[in-house]
Structure 1
Amino acid sequence: MYVEHLSLVDFRSYRSAEVPLQAGVNLFIGQNGQGKTNLVEAVEYLSTLSSHRVSSDGPLVRQGTEQAIARARVRASRDDGRVLLLELEINPGRTNRARINKNPQPRTRDLLGVLRTITFSPEDLAIIKGDPADRRRFIDTVVVTRWPRMAGVKADYDRILKQRNMLLKQLAQQGPRGQDEDALFTLEVFTEQLSQVGAELLAARLDTLSDLMPHTTAAYAEIAPVNNSVHASYRTGIDLAPGTESEPVGRDELARRLALAMTERRRDELARGVSLVGPHRDEIVLSIGELPAKGYASHGECWSLGLSLKLGAFQLVRDDGVEPVLILDDVFAELDSTRRERLAGAIEGAEQVLVTAAVGADVPERLVGRRFRVAAGEVELSTETVDSLGTTLPAHSGGGSAQ
């Protein structure tokens, strides 16, 4: 799966842009602030309906305009002639609209799963150094990339959690003597719903983390210049011990244990006005060798581990039978020469890689492909461009403009 053409209208700094991409490596070279990250961000947004840079739609729309449009023509594979046209109309403060092959979709979420991407950027160091929420967000992103329907499960969980927290806050304000039976019954209903949906999300996280770590360990061994092992453990507010030695905890049992834990913490929840048990409180502890990565790992080790997690996710999705687009946004500048070469070797077999860099020399020479120059809001094919067949291409404008 790869993007063969990207079109933008009023997206970020671009009034319009027409960018012809290819299978294999595509390099966007330009100084900071010229718009190269905006291009790969659009691809990411069409894939995940989210951005690694911002948490809301507003910044995605060019200043002074009310709407942005991102389109991508996606080919199933180099050997498969099937092509899909994905389009997302971004309307901050209003409902976004999605189309596939010009056909309107009932929900923007229907785009999920058509194009799969794995993105690594400097912001992803938060997976290692940041709060538990950053690690939960990472694993949920991988879960949805593997199983797009889980986006609906996560949305349901967040909705029920919000309703339950609002009720708990109301009951906390009333105090023990003022809590009416109807509200307490409603709390029981929310508890049951949250435990059921939470069990589905928790099971998907546990399965994904278990499947992910062997790939992450292999990637770290390949990228890091020292021989250290990496580990991950999932910490939650319930007992995850299996019912038998041979079988993991099933989803129904997870739901039962979640509901029981919520009941046991009921007094504390009513006193504090917030849900204290569930996937929204969980933590993933990442370790290098015998020590937790957060607080102990060096800057280089954090980069290697963060990159290995993303490469592990990339390989995991490939093992699931899907070739995702790999996006590396301003990554090579942060790596030493050894890690650069090892990373280049690790991604050479990807169906499509989109790379941004401020300095072309930061990208190893072995990553030959289609090279674009991004400057002053213009995207142009470089004279250094080599297509996926090894043929040198003439320079011409990709049609990008931020004017």
Structure 2
Amino acid sequence: MRVDCLRLTHYRNFRDVLVEASPGLNFLVGLNGQGKTNLLEALWVLAGARSPRAREPGDLVTYGVDQGHVHARVSQDATGVTRDVEVTLARGKARSYRLNGKPLPRAADVLGTLAVLWFSPDEVDLIRGGPADRRRFLDAVLAQTDGTYRRLALQYGRILLQRNRTLQQIREGQAALSLLEAWDEQLVAAGSYLTVARHALVDAIAGTAAQAYQAIAGSASTLEMTYKASGPGAVDRGAADLRSLQRAFAAHLERLRAAELARGVTLAGPHRDDLEIGLDGVEARRFGSRGQQRTAAVALHLAAWEWMRERSGEGPVLLLDDVASELDAGRRARLIRALPETAQVWLSATALDPEWLSPQRQAVRPGRAWRVSGGTLEILAGA
């Protein structure tokens, strides 16, 4: 999958820019605060994701303007199908999407049209942050490839909210205990699917992530990944089948009943799970250096890219924002070599490494570079 061209109109500090992209490597070069991250963020939003840098769609619109647009022509390598996708962002309104000129009923309907993986400077929290950061990563990968997962993840959030409310009402004597049974059943059904899917994803990408880490780090260090569910027995092991997990989950909720009623919150389920990441047998979160943590986070993204390609037949577009900072020259060079050969990559940096667009590399992997300055683009090199 690739973006052939991208147009931003009144998006943050971009008034009107058109980018004719390379199918291979696309480098955005410039000082901090000039708009490199804004451009990558626009692709993320166009793919249907929420920006972690904006609370409302209107926050993405150029100051003093009522609405902005992001439009791209997206091609699928496997099928040759080309689609036009556009998102309109307006102050005080929800995002609205159009596919091939036709409005989509819901924003969620655009998911999968343009699949992306975004590595931002904050993505190092995937390693050193809390469980929520790692769950968010797994959810972002699965939601773009599994429609059932996407639907049940949204449903699970609503069920969890209602179940917690019911627990609080029972604790305060405002509801009967029997009301909890219906929410238990729904929580178990949706939550078990999410847990099984996450387990399967982690199991599938663990080996690839370990190889990617060694390739970028240039060392024999071992990257380890383990999905830790918040319940015992079959839940903790990642049950071999959905039914086994559902039975274990339901039984665990029964054991937690008194504690949940006392606290008024749901104490088990995928909303409390974690992805443990280690390096040579120790927690990368606690003992890894900044360079090791960043390398591990990149390795996870590259492994997820390969899994998404195998799952859907189309590798997502890779967005790597400031990925080379805090990496030494050797790791930066090895990172470029480790990028999937068929991936379209958008990479931002404060300076262009001459090796990235050398004649030798251009012969193997076409690339293009732009200087980003104050919301404008100037092409530096092309292929």
Give the 3 Å change call, closer, same or farther, for CA 227–251 of structure 1 in structure 2: same
Determine the structure 2 residue equivalent to 1:349: 341
Q: Deviations over 1:103-140 (max 9, x none)?
A: 11111111111111122121100011101111111111
Give the 3 Å change call, closer, same or farther, for CA 273–107 of structure 1 in structure 2: same
Tell whether the 8 Å contact from 1:233 to 1:286 is kept in structure 2 after alignment. Answer: yes
Separation in 2, partners of 1:261, 1:65: 53
What is the deviation of 1:195?
0.8
Whichever residue aligns with residue 9 of structure 2, its letter is: V
Tell whether the 8 Å contact from 2:229 to 2:235 is kept in structure 1 after alignment. Answer: no
Determine the structure 1 residue equivalent to 2:166: 167
Whichever residue aligns with residue 25 of structure 1, its letter is: L
Give the 3 Å change call, closer, same or farther, for CA 53–96 of structure 1 in structure 2: closer
Give the 3 Å change call, closer, same or farther, for CA 240–362 of structure 1 in structure 2: farther
Determine the structure 2 residue equivalent to 1:271: 262
Tell whether the 8 Å contact from 2:260 to 2:267 is kept in structure 1 after alignment. Answer: yes
Tell whether the 8 Å contact from 1:48 to 1:117 is kept in structure 2 after alignment. Answer: no
Determine the structure 2 residue equivalent to 1:397: none
- Structure 1 residue 44 corresponds to structure 2 residue 37: no
* SS of the residue 2:73 aligns to: strand
- Structure 1 residue 133 corresponds to structure 2 residue 124: no
Determine the structure 2 residue equivalent to 1:24: 24
* Deviates further, 143-152 or 271-280: 143-152
Determine the structure 1 residue equivalent to 2:382: 386
Determine the structure 1 residue equivalent to 2:118: 119
Q: Deviations over 1:26-74 (max 9, x none)?
A: 1111111111111111112212422354465343222233433211111
Q: 2:321 aligns with which of 318, 329, 335?
A: 329
Separation in 1, partners of 2:210, 2:131: 21
Q: 1:230 aligns with which of 223, 244, 252?
A: 223
- Structure 1 residue 318 corresponds to structure 2 residue 300: no
Determine the structure 1 residue equivalent to 2:284: 293
What is the deviation of 1:270?
1.1
What is the deviation of 1:145?
2.6
Separation in 2, partners of 1:259, 1:236: 14
Q: Deviations over 1:305-324 (max 9, x none)?
A: 11111111111112222121
Tell whether the 8 Å contact from 1:326 to 1:350 is kept in structure 2 after alignment. Answer: no
Whichever residue aligns with residue 382 of structure 2, its letter is: V
Q: 2:213 aligns with which of 217, 220, 223?
A: 220
Tell whether the 8 Å contact from 2:284 to 2:293 is kept in structure 1 after alignment. Answer: yes
What is the deviation of 1:386?
2.2
Determine the structure 1 residue equivalent to 2:200: 207
- Structure 1 residue 5 corresponds to structure 2 residue 5: yes
Q: How high is the sequence identity, in percent, across the aligned residues?
A: 35
Determine the structure 2 residue equivalent to 1:76: 76
Give the 3 Å change call, closer, same or farther, for CA 93–251 of structure 1 in structure 2: farther
Give the TM-score of the pair, scaled to structure 2.
0.92
Tell whether the 8 Å contact from 2:196 to 2:242 is kept in structure 1 after alignment. Answer: yes
Determine the structure 2 residue equivalent to 1:59: 59
Determine the structure 2 residue equivalent to 1:106: 105
Tell whether the 8 Å contact from 1:201 to 1:279 is kept in structure 2 after alignment. Answer: yes
Separation in 2, partners of 1:48, 1:343: 27
What is the deviation of 1:350?
3.0
Determine the structure 2 residue equivalent to 1:370: 368
What is the deviation of 1:265?
0.9
Tell whether the 8 Å contact from 1:286 to 1:293 is kept in structure 2 after alignment. Answer: yes
Gaps of 5+ in 2: none
Separation in 2, partners of 1:273, 1:203: 26
Determine the structure 2 residue equivalent to 1:14: 14
Give the 3 Å change call, closer, same or farther, for CA 281–362 of structure 1 in structure 2: farther
* Deviates further, 137-146 or 300-309: 137-146
Tell whether the 8 Å contact from 1:340 to 1:363 is kept in structure 2 after alignment. Answer: no
Q: Deviations over 1:301-352 (max 9, x none)?
A: 1111111111111111122221211111111232111111111111161331
* SS of the residue 2:69 aligns to: strand
Tell whether the 8 Å contact from 1:47 to 1:112 is kept in structure 2 after alignment. Answer: yes
Tell whether the 8 Å contact from 1:8 to 1:70 is kept in structure 2 after alignment. Answer: yes
* SS of the residue 1:295 aligns to: helix
Q: Deviations over 1:142-181 (max 9, x none)?
A: 1113324422211101011111112222223x1xxx3543
Separation in 1, partners of 2:130, 2:56: 20
Q: 2:294 aligns with which of 303, 313, 316?
A: 303
* SS of the residue 1:18 aligns to: strand
Aligned length: 376
Give the TM-score of the pair, scaled to structure 1.
0.88
* SS of the residue 1:351 aligns to: coil
Gaps of 5+ in 1: 388-403
Give the 3 Å change call, closer, same or farther, for CA 261–66 of structure 1 in structure 2: farther
Give the 3 Å change call, closer, same or farther, for CA 93–159 of structure 1 in structure 2: farther
State the superposition RMSD in angstroms.
Answer: 2.2
Give the 3 Å change call, closer, same or farther, for CA 196–149 of structure 1 in structure 2: closer
What is the deviation of 1:191?
1.0
* SS of the residue 1:372 aligns to: strand
Tell whether the 8 Å contact from 2:57 to 2:93 is kept in structure 1 after alignment. Answer: no
Separation in 1, partners of 2:51, 2:119: 11
* Deviates further, 309-318 or 358-367: 358-367
Tell whether the 8 Å contact from 2:221 to 2:280 is kept in structure 1 after alignment. Answer: yes
Separation in 1, partners of 2:135, 2:46: 22
Give the 3 Å change call, closer, same or farther, for CA 363–70 of structure 1 in structure 2: farther
Separation in 1, partners of 2:351, 2:24: 20
